[in-house]
Each structure stands twice: as C-alpha cells, then as structure tokens.
Copies of this chain bind each other. A is one copy, B any other.
Amino acid sequence: MKIGILTSGGDCPGLNAVIRGVVLKGTMTYDLEFVGIRDGWRGVVDGDFFPLTRHEVKGLSKVGGTILGTSRTNPYEGPRGGAENIAKTLYGHRIDGIIAIGGEGTLAAANRLYNDGINVLGVPKTIDNDLRATDYSFGFDTAVNIATEAMDRLRTTGDSHQRCMVAEVMGRHVGWIALHAGIAAGAHVICIPEVPMSIDQIAEQVSKARDRGRAPLVVVSEGFTLQGMDEAYSDKGLDAFNRPRLGGIGEVLAPEIERITGMETRATVLGHIQRGGSPSAFDRVLATRLGLHAADAVVDGAWGQMVSMQGTDIVRVPFEEALGELNTVPQYRYEEAAALFG
C-alpha cells in the first residue's frame, strides 16, 4: 500500500513528530510505502508528491514546522480540484489513501472527500485546542508553555514599575491558551471569547489586584470581543476602516484600562512565537503516538476517522464527532479558574 501524508493549515509544533511516527511504524512494522504531499491540499490537487522514507524522518521528533510544507488551499476549488479529479490524480500515482494532519477546516475537507469515495484518515492539529473529540491536540502544550514563560517575564516588569501588563495570546474562537497560561502564570484577569466582559468589569478586577499590592496581569485571547467596544469606537469617531489598524485586542484594552484605573498599562501581543519552534516533550509524545496509531488505522482500513487522545489512550473517532461545533471553554472551567482571582 502507498499512502500520502499532508499537513494543512497554520504551523504547529509536533507536525514533524506525527510524520515521523507514521513513517517509522508504517515502514518498519507494516511495510507500507509513503509519499510526502507538498503544501497540504495544494499538493494533492497538483499531484506534488515525493518519496518519504525512514531516512527523511530521521531526528524529526524535536524539529518544529513541517517538512511537507503547508497551505490553506481548499481541495474542492480550482480546475484540478474536486473529488473526481483528486481520485484520478491519486490513482495515477498509485496512492491508496491520504493521512491528513490538520484542524477543523482540513478535517471538514477530509470528511467530504471521504464521503466522495477517497480514503482519508485524519490527525487533529490545532494550537488553539479548539477541536472536539480529543482531550488535547499537539501544539497546544507548547503554545501554553511559551505564553506562560512570556507572562512570567512580563510580571517582573509589572512589579518593578507597578504597572498593569496585558498579554494577548492566540485563540481566535476559543480561550484555552489564555485559560491555561493564565492559570499557570497567575493572571488576575482572563478574557476569552466564550465569556463576554465589559471594560469596566476588567478594570474592576485590575483595581482589586492593584489594591492588594499586586501588579495586575491580564491575559486576553486574540478573539475576545469587548462588550460595548463598537459603541466605544463610534464615540471616538473611528469607523470600521480604522479599527483593524489599531492592532490586536490587547492594544485596545491597555489604554482603556489605563484610562479607567489610572494605572500605567502596557500590552504585548505574543503572536507567531506561540506556534513555531521545537515542541514540548508532551507534544512530542502526543504527536508521535498519534502518528504511530495513524499507521495502525491505515492498515485496519479505518478511513473516515481521525486518531485522537482520550485520557492516556489514543483512540479513533469518526470525522463527524470532531466537526460542527468547536471545543470551547465550558463555563465551569472558567469559573474554576476565576476562583483564583476572586
């Protein structure tokens, strides 16, 4: 059997470890043959493949990024896209199935292709931890470690200057990175997309921390929407055109916090450093295990499913279970953490 592997969507520490896991188990235990697919679905559509042997995956468990490249191409678009064309392309290269490593969009495309008759197996990948049907996804632990270390650094500066520090972390739709890094770094306010807050509520928390003699630390997901922000902008005569120029939500919050509390406030947007570089040990182990089990699943013909982590086990779940809704932070998890800054 010849199997193609692709990585799709944003960069994520652990992608290479998955690839290594698949190839080592597949070649040594099952005698499978592999090809790398360049730049995600783009490579499937264009037939851009290259042989992937044990030699190519040497030493990859610690290496950030993806040796396969990635893109955000939709396999159903363009003149060579669509299930029928792809089936022909794969057949032409004698490729029996695809392992697609990616997030919600990638897995949705994988599911559609599977329903259209293509053999696809999924491996969940999301920095934000926003996929259901897996306890955690690789890359998330690394991102939380990086955000936590950055906030550890911001705290000493906050303390030295008696400043409020605002850290904006990743999380377009869900607040997991902010929640976990906020708990780990001892943040005094955690602002996530799932829990609407007004600037006055945030400022009140900041003031309470300040009044206890602390230098307040605020962590905010990039996808957090401030209640009443639209009104605030229109009060200032700023229209939609100007808003994106104002930078991330962290840079929106800082001056508002300073205005209300009177406390000097600085924002830092952590940005891309959260999704690059060498994975944490946790992510290397998780990614490697997902890769090993993906090879098993291929041999079992378990197409239309993804491998996933549940407790300490790697299991298989149908694509549908992971799709549709995002894995948001449940109310009880937010309240659990909120008890820390009471």
Residues of A within 8 A of B (CB): 7, 11, 13, 15, 21, 24-25, 28-29, 39, 58-59, 61-66, 69-71, 135-136, 141, 144-150, 152-157, 159-162, 165, 180-181, 183-186, 214, 242, 245-247, 251, 266-273, 275-277, 280-282, 284-285, 288-289, 292, 310-312, 336, 339-340, 342
Residues A141 and B339 in contact, CB atoms below 8 Å apart? no
**How many identical subunits does the complex contain?**
4
Report the minimal beta-carbon distance from A18 to chain B, rounded to whole angstroms: 13
* Interface contacts beyond A66-B160, A145-B280: sample of 15 additional A-B pairs, CB < 8 Å, sorted by A: A11-B156, A15-B160, A58-B214, A61-B186, A62-B186, A65-B156, A69-B161, A70-B161, A148-B281, A149-B281, A153-B272, A154-B272, A156-B276, A183-B285, A184-B281
Bound Cα distance from A62 to B340, whole angstroms: 14
Neighbouring B residues of A275 by C-beta, 8 Å: 153, 157
Q: Looking across the interface, which residue of chain B has its beta carbon closest to that of A238? A: B245
Residues A340 and B21 in contact, CB atoms below 8 Å apart? yes
Report the minimal beta-carbon distance from A331 to chain B, rounded to whole angstroms: 14
Bound Cα distance from A148 to B17, whole angstroms: 14
Residues A61 and B272 in contact, CB atoms below 8 Å apart? no
Bound Cα distance from A165 to B64, whole angstroms: 15
A336-B62 in contact given A161-B11, A162-B69 (Cβ < 8 Å)? no
Neighbouring B residues of A62 by C-beta, 8 Å: 152, 184-186
Bound Cα distance from A144 to B59, whole angstroms: 18
Residues B272 and A268 in contact, CB atoms below 8 Å apart? yes
Q: Looking across the interface, which residue of chain B has its beta carbon closest to that of A342? A: B28
Neighbouring B residues of A66 by C-beta, 8 Å: 160
